[in-house]
Amino acid sequence: MLRADGTGLIDWEDAHAGDPVRELRRTQEQLLADPGENSPTELLDALRAGYREQAGTLPAGFDDWKAIYGAVSFLDTSGFFDEWAPDVDRPTAALEDWVEREMERRLAEI
């Protein structure tokens, strides 16, 4: 949820113990990504700013692990396609094509 003044709330009930880089990337994918389009930059910026505000900086290795965790976190998107795709207001075939292209793009970055 993002309010007009730029503040918002992210539901952290699904947070996991472990690598904070992976968790931040997973959060970006699951909560802020728009399937089939680019994620809204202002939301990603707000998430990272909030993280920095609480932790002082993004987790160590955030940029170094960007490519690998980009592909790993996208497995949730591709693996649960049948669950989320019917709720997206886009043709399923177009979403299927996007998922395939997006995974290939992410794997090529590794």
- The rounded distance, in Å, linking the Cα atoms of 101 and 62 is 24
pLDDT score recorded for residue 83: 94
97, pLDDT greater than 60: yes
pLDDT score recorded for residue 99: 95
Mean pLDDT, range 44-59, rounded to an integer: 90
pLDDT score recorded for residue 4: 67
Q: Give the count of domains, the chain.
A: 1
25, pLDDT greater than 90: no
Residue 29 within a domain: yes
Residue 78 within a domain: yes
Residue 6 within a domain: no
Residue 15 within a domain: no
Residue 13 within a domain: no
- The rounded distance, in Å, linking the Cα atoms of 46 and 69 is 20
36 neighbors 95 (Cβ within 8 angstroms): yes
Q: Which domain holds residue 82?
A: 20-109
Residue 33 within a domain: yes
- The rounded distance, in Å, linking the Cα atoms of 61 and 59 is 6
Residue 31 within a domain: yes
Q: Angle 98-70-42 (CA atoms, 0-180°, nearest 5)?
A: 80
Specify the pTM. 0.72
10: confidence class by pLDDT, cuts 50, 70, 90: low
Under 8 Å CB-to-CB from 72, ≥6 apart: which residues? 22, 25
93, pLDDT greater than 70: yes
72 neighbors 66 (Cβ within 8 angstroms): no
Residue 67 within a domain: yes
On average, the pLDDT of the chain sits at 84
